[in-house]
Amino acid sequence: MATPDFQKFEPSPSLSLVEGFTHLPNFLEPEEVQALKDAAAAGPKDETLSTGRPLAATPGVHWHGFPRTHSWQNGAQIASIPETCLPALHRLRHLGVLPARYSFDQAIVNFYPEGCEGIRMHVDRANFDDIIVGFSLGAAVVMDLEPLDTQEHDEAASDPTRSHAKHVLLEEGSVYVFSGHVRWKWKHGIKQGPHRYADEELPLGERTSITLRRLRRPDQKESDDLWMTHQESKKCAQNHLRHLQLVDAC
């Protein structure tokens, strides 16, 4: 893959709708989009049937909503989801969107069939850390953002120059990042389609999202590596459990 032109990925002020929110349309290169699609199509290396939501406190790669049992394609040279995400994560770090030495230990691969119910408005659980990164594949949708704080909501609603609700077009290859204020003080969701954006109806279709997060721990170690392996994450979780047991014993 050719060396990326970082200048073309500089976040525009118009894309920073809320403090802590970054949206980068067409951030993924075409070959990265295809690689992520291939990794999602291949599925996990073990036999896994997508049923229900993934366990919130579990690191690793989780699969949800896929219509079939996945099986790793024997002999196929397909990179894993974390490996495929690394080039884009490195660019985000280079741009300063991700802090230096910040790593992730959980990826959720969600498949949304055409006509699905959407995603209710929510804030990601507090057992995840400050930064959440999302990659979009497939059909475009509109993500809605609204403040949790009623005062912030009312102040925006009373000012005709502001809007308390924000609407973001998530097209294939786009990336968004939640951190800080928008991560904790705003909720987000995606309504059931069809969606409209800029007075145009968006074509329906299947969509896949890949969301990267990190479990919160008091002894969190920063790392130059962007992805914490399952064993590293498991060790951190065991240390955290021992810490809680010692506190309970006091």
List the CATH number of the domain containing 120: 2.60.120.590
Most confident of 16-30, 62-76, 81-95, 145-159: 81-95
Domain for residue 83, yes or no? yes
Q: Which residue has the tokens 């924000």?
A: 166
Distance CA 175, CA 173 (A): 7
pLDDT at residue 17, rounded to an integer: 76
Confidence of residue 247 (pLDDT cuts 50, 70, 90): very low
Confidence of residue 6 (pLDDT cuts 50, 70, 90): very low
Specify the number of domains making up the chain: 1
pLDDT at residue 224, rounded to an integer: 86
Mean pLDDT along residues 35-61: 72
Distance CA 98, CA 20 (A): 11
pLDDT at residue 244, rounded to an integer: 39
Does 4 or 124 have the greater pLDDT score?
124
pLDDT at residue 72, rounded to an integer: 56
Q: Residue 218: which domain range? A: 6-249
pLDDT at residue 249, rounded to an integer: 52
CB atoms within 10 A of CB 71: 13
Domain for residue 15, yes or no? yes
pLDDT at residue 70, rounded to an integer: 58
Query: How many helical (H) and strand (E) elements, i.e. helices and strands, does the chain have?
Result: 5, 12
Domain for residue 1, yes or no? no
CB atoms within 10 A of CB 249: 6
Distances (CA, A) of 223 to 100, 169, 220, 235: 8, 32, 10, 15
Mean pLDDT along residues 152-163: 55
Q: Report the mean per-residue pLDDT for the chain.
A: 80
